[in-house]
Amino acid sequence: MKLLSYFRGEAFQRGVHPPSCKLTASTRIRRLPFAPKVTVPLSQHIGRVPRPIVRVGQEVVRGEPIAKSDEWLSVPHHAPVTGVVEFIGLRPGVRGPWVESIVIRAHPGASQEDLWGRPRDLADATGGDILQAIWDSGMVGLGGAAFPTHAKLTVPKQAKVHTLVVNGCECEPYLTCDHRVMVEQADALVTGIRYAMRATGAVRSIVGIEDNKPDAVVAIREAIARCGRIPEGEVYAELVPTKYPQGSEKMLVMALFGVEIPAGDLPVSLGMVVNNVGTLAALGKLLPAGRGLIERVVTITGPGVAKPGDYIVPLGTPLRFVLDYAGAPGAESRQVILGGPMMGQAAASLDVPITKGMSGVLVMRGDELAWREHQKTYPCIKCAECVESCPMGLNPSQLGMLAAKREYDLMGSDYHLGECFECGCCSYVCPSNIPLVQQFRIAKQILREKAISK
């Protein structure tokens, strides 16, 4: 009941509580074997697409850069396996269309050790050095958005950052990769936090963790204690009430500091930078070793998986290989979702590779989905469930009716469609089964195209 949550002083207003279904919350992270062939798409992040710097037939060593760009908002890619470049060209992409990719055939006899990375001492490195090192490592936000991390940690000239907020919420059901990383790689996480604090000039860092992961808080507090006095500033781990979509940076900042980030602004306007725990833990491991991002932790789970778990997967491993290993019986799995069930994307084909921004692979069985097909779609009965659940304080009911009438301009101008970040709460709660957020996605796309054509 919303009234109760008001008196409890809950973190942010509205939002939903989907069943958590964290099947793999207590299984250790395991390593996935190397696939015979890996496909590295050149565009795995927001920003410019880098150019390949290898030729077909060239031998590459695991960890070696294979694509680079001089553009600031772009990151290099590194070879995930030791092998031979077999093909450079179009391959099926995650979003559907085929994309420019580099296909590497792994050497069957190679030890697959990262021989390219050179350990370095970053104890005296300045913020600029660290940003450059992060850029060279090809790091992007591992939480799903895949925004280049060096760009995110670069503080604009006119702003000053005092707090690094570390996002350990993982509010999506099923996903546990951030949770396991916090528990098992807490030391690397604290190291990564220290680098990020030095890069941004923050003097305080707060790891926000939802209260369904108390073991993660314990692990991080222990790791902080092991560090003793941290020269960069103070680091805390803090519990926030479990609620979807807490993992959105605006919601997390609201939960921790009780302040709304003004619409259209980034957290840096309040002197904060928000980063995902997975990203910072990976930084803590990669930067001292001087390596690039060539593997990541992916949650492979769902009712259709026999061996669910969090796996360290080399980037570019085909989905088919991953699912075969995790034991997803082909005939019964009807839907493969990349990411979480609330915001993840349905895979168009099993030939797509694991990319940098992919936090989970969720396999749904046919019988799990069958009930949905029998659900009837009613007209909006104006029950106000969506208004009560929209974390951005929009009116999805009204927006949905306008979308049905194709009044996209009105949606954007009068009903703040631009604020919608597509968390899916409205569609999740709608008793009439109206595809609200799906319509909003179309509306936003049309408005974007209109704005470009003008």
Partner 1 sequence: MSIEIRSAPHIKGTRSVEQIMRHVVWSLLPVCAFFVFQYGLSALLSLLVVTVSCLLTERFFVRQGGQSGDIGDFSAIITGLLLALSLPPGFPLWMGAVAGIVAIALGKALFGGIGFNVFNPALIGRAFVQAAFPQAIATYTPSFMPGRFYEFIPSSMTIPLMQPVSVVEWLQARQFDALAGATPLAKWKFEGVLANADDLLTSLSGHMAVGPSPVLILVCGAYLAFRRFLDWRIPAAILGSAGLTAWMLFALNDVRFPNPFFMLFSGGLILGAVYMATDMATSPVTPKGMWVYGALIGLLTVIIRYYSGLPEGVMYAILIANAATPLIEKITQPTPFGKGVLSNLGRQKKGASYPLHSGYISREDAGAVTPKKRFLFNKPKHPPKE
Nearest of 279, 427, 425, 363 to residue 23 by alpha carbon: 363
In the list 335, 407, 444, 447, the residue contacting partner 1 (rule: CB under 8 A) is: 335
Q: Interhelix angle for 277-289 vs 186-200, to 10°? A: 90
**Type of residue found at 187:** D
Considering the complex, state which of residue 104 and residue 293 has its C-beta at the smaller distance from partner 1. 293
In the list 30, 132, 222, 227, the residue contacting partner 1 (rule: CB under 8 A) is: 132
Residue 245, preceding bond cis, omega within 30 degrees? yes
Q: Does the protein bind partner 1 through residue 49 (CB under 8 A)?
A: no
**Cα(313)–Cα(125) distance, rounded to whole angstroms?**
30
Considering the complex, state which of residue 35 and residue 430 has its C-beta at the smaller distance from partner 1. 430
The structure tokens 């070879």 sit at: 79
Point out which span in 26-34, 54-62, 126-134, 351-359 binds partner 1 (CB under 8 A): 126-134
CB of 179 to partner 1, least distance (A): 19
Nearest of 317, 319, 311, 300 to residue 30 by alpha carbon: 311
Point out which span in 23-31, 103-111, 175-183, 248-256 binds partner 1 (CB under 8 A): 248-256
Q: Does the protein bind partner 1 through residue 209 (CB under 8 A)?
A: no
CB of 187 to partner 1, least distance (A): 24
Q: Does the protein bind partner 1 through residue 306 (CB under 8 A)?
A: no
CB of 222 to partner 1, least distance (A): 20
Q: Does the protein bind partner 1 through residue 273 (CB under 8 A)?
A: no
- Both ends of the chain: CA-CA distance in Å? 46
For 260-285, letters b (16+ CB in 10 Å) and e give: ebeeeebbbebebbbbbbbbbbbbbb
What are the DSSP E strand ranges found in 268-349? Answer: 272-276, 295-301, 309-314, 333-338, 345-346
CB of 28 to partner 1, least distance (A): 26
Considering the complex, state which of residue 27 and residue 132 has its C-beta at the smaller distance from partner 1. 132
Point out which span in 23-31, 108-116, 185-193, 268-276 binds partner 1 (CB under 8 A): 268-276
Answer positive or negative: Cα dihedral of 383, 389, 391, 396.
Answer: negative
Site string for partner 1, 429-448 (x = CB under 8 A): xxxxx-x-xx--x-------
Q: Does the protein bind partner 1 through residue 344 (CB under 8 A)?
A: yes
Q: Does the protein bind partner 1 through residue 269 (CB under 8 A)?
A: yes
CB of 387 to partner 1, least distance (A): 5
Site for partner 1 in 52-111 (CB under 8 A): 70-73
**Cα(179)–Cα(81) distance, rounded to whole angstroms?**
27
Number of chain positions touching partner 1 (CB under 8 A): 111
**Cα(427)–Cα(246) distance, rounded to whole angstroms?**
17
Contact indicator for 345, 89 with CB cutoff of 8 Å: no
Q: Does the protein bind partner 1 through residue 16 (CB under 8 A)?
A: yes
Question: Phi, psi at residue 162, to the nearest 5°?
Answer: -110, -25
CB of 137 to partner 1, least distance (A): 13
Considering the complex, state which of residue 184 and residue 409 has its C-beta at the smaller distance from partner 1. 409
CB of 52 to partner 1, least distance (A): 21
In the list 57, 97, 119, 264, the residue contacting partner 1 (rule: CB under 8 A) is: 264
Residues in the chain: 454
SS3 164: strand
Q: Does the protein bind partner 1 through residue 156 (CB under 8 A)?
A: yes
Point out which span in 23-31, 56-64, 103-111, 325-333 binds partner 1 (CB under 8 A): 325-333
In the list 88, 164, 206, 252, the residue contacting partner 1 (rule: CB under 8 A) is: 206
CB of 154 to partner 1, least distance (A): 5
Site for partner 1 in 371-430 (CB under 8 A): 372, 375-376, 378-385, 387-388, 391-395, 397-398, 415-416, 419, 422, 424, 427-430
**Cα(173)–Cα(166) distance, rounded to whole angstroms?**
19
| Six-digit token string for 410 | 């009105």
Site for partner 1 in 169-188 (CB under 8 A): 173
Q: Does the protein bind partner 1 through residue 200 (CB under 8 A)?
A: no
**Type of residue found at 392:** M
| Six-digit token string for 324 | 């075969």
Nearest of 400, 435, 434, 405 to residue 417 by alpha carbon: 400
CB of 234 to partner 1, least distance (A): 11
| Six-digit token string for 295 | 């593997």
The structure tokens 């604290």 sit at: 190
Q: CA angle 285-288-294, nearest 5°?
A: 50
Considering the complex, state which of residue 19 and residue 119 has its C-beta at the smaller distance from partner 1. 19
